[in-house]
């Protein structure tokens, strides 16, 4: 064994760990300083000073479970039961499907209604919740739900629909999680007002802005081999003074602001 080489590797790894731990300490110290400053004045008072408003805060259970899950494997047998489509399964866990006959997603009023396409032509379509409709790109993005809670921006739990100029879905991409489990780290869940306070203390809530909506869901915490772990996450939608809408995500246990990579599902798997 080359002891000098082993010693050098150990020193490098030790240095990297020290830098990582210092960065964690620095972040925690900054958070603590923010809390101390805000502690002198209530969150509500600080928000009132900057005319940051919010409607009635959502009810929630202080039941901060983490989720574990595995990517579901698509099979020919599962997909052939749906009909009206030709499909391709990639790496067992990613589906590309093209409809033989396009399905309209516009109702009589000319607005979008995805009920038929989800219930008849998408495997377990009821488990997905609409996130965004991009009329210019002619596509819609859905997140898979665990019970009623959406799983935000996980490439393993997404559905993307594409339609033509007539508003008819022609093809879609899908990924899905299964084998859900839960466990509790015995920490309290961040309350809605504390989550708003977290955004404010970091300078994300601008003067005269309004919190339009808050929803509790999940986001990727860590992935170990095939098993993925998801942390409770607050989604906070904010309307700025000029009408621009901004979306923020906060780990509802640790309090960290989460930034997602938002590449479309189809690009991620090309």
254 belongs to a structural domain: yes
Residue pair 208/82 in contact (Cβ under 8 Å)? The answer is no
Q: CA-CA distance, 16 to 193, in Å (whole number)?
A: 36
26 belongs to a structural domain: no
Lowest mean pLDDT among 17-31, 104-118, 248-262: 17-31
Write down the number of H helices and E strands in the chain. Answer: 6, 14
Q: 37 falls in which pLDDT band (50, 70, 90)?
A: very low
Output the pLDDT for position 89: 97
Q: Tell me the residue range of the domain where 209 lies.
A: 41-270
* Predicted structure pTM score: 0.81
Question: In this structure, what token pair is assigned to residue 15?
Answer: 């240095």
9 belongs to a structural domain: no
48 belongs to a structural domain: yes
25 belongs to a structural domain: no
Instruction: For residue 265, give the CATH number of its domain.
Output: 3.30.310.160
Residue bearing tokens 């995805």: 114
Span 176-218, pLDDT tens digits: 999 999 887 778 899 999 999 999 999 999 999 999 999 999 9
Whether pLDDT at 227 is above 90: no
How many domains does one find in the chain?
Answer: 1
- Adjacent-strand bridge partners of 107: none
119 belongs to a structural domain: yes
Average confidence (pLDDT) over 129-157: 97
6 belongs to a structural domain: no
259 belongs to a structural domain: yes
Q: Check residues 187 and 76 and name the one with the higher pLDDT.
A: 76
């Amino acid at each position: 064994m080359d002891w000098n080489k082993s010693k050098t590797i150990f020193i490098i790894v030790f240095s990297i760990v020290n830098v990582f731990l210092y960065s964690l300490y620095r972040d925690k110290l900054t958070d603590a300083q923010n809390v101390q400053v805000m502690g002198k004045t209530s969150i509500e008072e600080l928000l009132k000073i900057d005319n940051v408003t919010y409607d009635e805060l959502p009810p929630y259970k202080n039941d901060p479970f983490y989720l574990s899950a595995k990517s579901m494997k698509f099979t020919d047998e599962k997909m052939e039961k749906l009909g009206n489509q030709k499909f391709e399964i990639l790496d067992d866990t990613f589906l590309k499907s093209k409809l033989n006959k396009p399905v309209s997603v516009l109702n009589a009023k000319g607005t979008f209604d995805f009920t038929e396409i989800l219930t008849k032509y998408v495997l377990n379509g009821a488990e997905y919740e609409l996130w965004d409709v991009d009329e210019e790109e002619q596509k819609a993005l859905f997140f898979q739900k665990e019970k009623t809670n959406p799983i935000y921006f996980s490439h393993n739990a997404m559905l993307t629909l594409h339609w033509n100029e007539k508003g008819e879905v022609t093809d879609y991409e899908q990924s899905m999680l299964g084998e859900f489990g839960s466990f509790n780290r015995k920490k309290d869940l961040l309350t809605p007002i504390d989550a708003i306070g977290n955004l404010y203390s970091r300078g994300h809530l601008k003067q005269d802005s309004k919190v339009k909506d808050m929803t509790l869901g999940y986001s990727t915490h860590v992935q170990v081999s095939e098993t993925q772990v998801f942390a409770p996450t607050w989604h906070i939608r904010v309307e700025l003074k000029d009408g621009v809408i901004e979306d923020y995500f906060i780990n509802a246990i640790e309090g960290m602001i989460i930034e997602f990579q938002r590449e479309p599902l189809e690009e991620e798997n090309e």
